[in-house]
Amino acid sequence: MPFTASEFCLTKEEEEELLIISRSTKAEYRMVFRAKIILMLDEKKHYSEIKSELSTNDVAIAKWKKRFQKDRLNGLLDLRGRGKVPKYNKYDESRIINITCSKPQDGHSTWSQKRIGEQLGISQSTVCRILKRADLKPHKTEYWCGKSKDPEFESKMVTIIGLYMDPPENALVLCIDEKTQIQALDRTQPELPMRQGNPKRLTSTYKRNGTTSLIAALSVTVGDVTAQTMDSNNTDNFLSFLKKIDRKYRNKHLHIIVDNLSIHKNERVKEWLSHKRKITMHYTPTYSSWLNLIEVWFGILTKDVLKNAVWHSKDQMVKQILEYIKKYNEKKSKPFIWTYDPFKLYNKVS
């Protein structure tokens, strides 16, 4: 005759708690298992049914039934002192955490879990477990925008953001910058095109076919880009580009935003600008080139054109870049909307 559940009644609170545990996807399996046993016993199910459904045995069922009858819900918890005695104590944990937060002295720049373990004579798996509990990730580095040391940071920032958000009437706001040393990289073997189950594949070995630099101006209110390539980034090329911009927008007052690169403040550039009453230059604060919206467009260019590209010659690269800019102006250009509150970042690092 198979065993059957003896009479014991669950309170409403106990039944609700056991149901929550038994249906949980995050609770430990052993607690889910024990809760299911008690619920099935409460339903007057035979031991044979419980064993079949939970893949267990008579001893386990009787054990948790007895524990529950004695201590109710607390009886389903593990007894104190059971299990394997930890090999490492709080002192060892503090040693691991302290060395992780210190700078290595052997020429390395960062720690790895393996080297931490070797340094302290502790297994890598133990180091991994302790660092996970402490939420420490020695392999990971995050970057943040440091506080500018420019004494005029706030006034320059407010002026530039003001131009973005409320540009003057009958004026044009342009963001100008250079993207230098763009390499025309070719591969030593033909690329293997993408196919189902495989991405595009390139050899890790490459050859250089020269470099070019790109100077570009982004129209903030329209979103189109004026650009030209050049062999080197110098005062002559920057001044030549400014003259090109001046001719293109002859009937507009221009507010031009640039960073603090020396060629942007060259005496020849200042001399030429002194005769151009309809051009106003705005320099971003020191270490704050993120204020220049052309950087956003350079990110788009990198993703769409430069990343993982293969060029057999410098001329081929230049032609593709200029073709992309032409098509971008025809089909994709639109104003970037400034949404971030710069004071939030500035106050955070103050």
State pLDDT tens for residues 155-191: 999 999 999 988 888 899 999 999 999 999 999 888 8
Domain residue ranges of the chain, discontinuous segments joined by +:
12-76, 90-134, 153-194+202-349
Report helix, strand or coil for 282.
strand
Task: Please report which confidence band the pLDDT of residue 343 belongs to, taking 50, 70 and 90 as the band edges.
Answer: low
The whole-number average pLDDT for the span 42-60 is: 85
Proportion of the chain above pLDDT 70, given as a percent = 93
**Would you give the DSSP letter of residue 190?**
P
- Tell me, what's the pLDDT at 264? 96
CA of 158: how far to CAs of 65, 68, 87, 161, 273, in Å? 71, 68, 59, 5, 23
Looking at the DSSP bridge assignments, the partners of residue 217 are 176, 226
* Residue of 97 and 90 predicted with greater confidence: 97
Over the stretch 194-211, which tens digit does the pLDDT of each residue have? 888 888 888 888 899 999
Angle at 234 between CA 320 and CA 271, to 5 degrees: 125
Question: Contact 184/209 with Cβ under 8 angstroms?
Answer: yes
Which has more pLDDT, 348 or 337?
337
Give the containing element (helix H, strand E) for 113.
helix 113-120
pLDDT of residue 280: 95
**Residues 6 or more apart whose Cβ sits within 8 Å of residue 344:** none
| Residue 339 backbone class (left: φ over 0; alpha: ψ -120 to 50; beta: rest) | alpha
Instruction: Tokens for 111, please give them.
Output: 């720690």
Q: Using DSSP bridges, classify how beta strands 253-258 and 225-230 pair: parallel, antiparallel or unpaired.
A: unpaired
Convert the pLDDT of each residue in 233-267 to its tens digit.
Answer: 999 999 999 999 999 998 899 999 999 999 999 99
Task: Report the pLDDT averaged over residues 109-129.
Answer: 91
Give DSSP secondary structure letters for 25-43.
SSS-HHHHHHHHHHHHHHT
Place of tokens 């342009």: 174
Backbone angles phi and psi of 199, in degrees to 5: -80, 175
| CA nearest neighbour of 92 among 60, 130, 59 | 130
Question: At how many degrees (to 10) do helices 47-54 and 58-71 cross?
Answer: 110
Kindly state which CATH superfamily the domain 153-194+202-349 is placed in. Ribonuclease H-like superfamily/Ribonuclease H (3.30.420.10)
Summary mean pLDDT of the chain: 87
**pLDDT greater at residue 52 or residue 186:** 186
| pLDDT, average across residues 142-162 | 86
The identity of residue 135, as a single letter, is D
Q: 284 with 259: CB under 8 angstroms?
A: yes
CB 221, CB 167: distance < 8 Å: yes
Return d(Cα 7, Cα 279) in angstroms, integer: 93
Task: Mean pLDDT check: name the lowest of 61-65, 130-134, 251-255.
Answer: 61-65
Report which DSSP code applies to 223. Answer: -
Question: Considering the entire predicted model, what is its pTM?
Answer: 0.65
What pLDDT is stored for residue 211 in this prediction?
95
Q: How far apart are CA 24 and CA 3, in angstroms?
A: 28
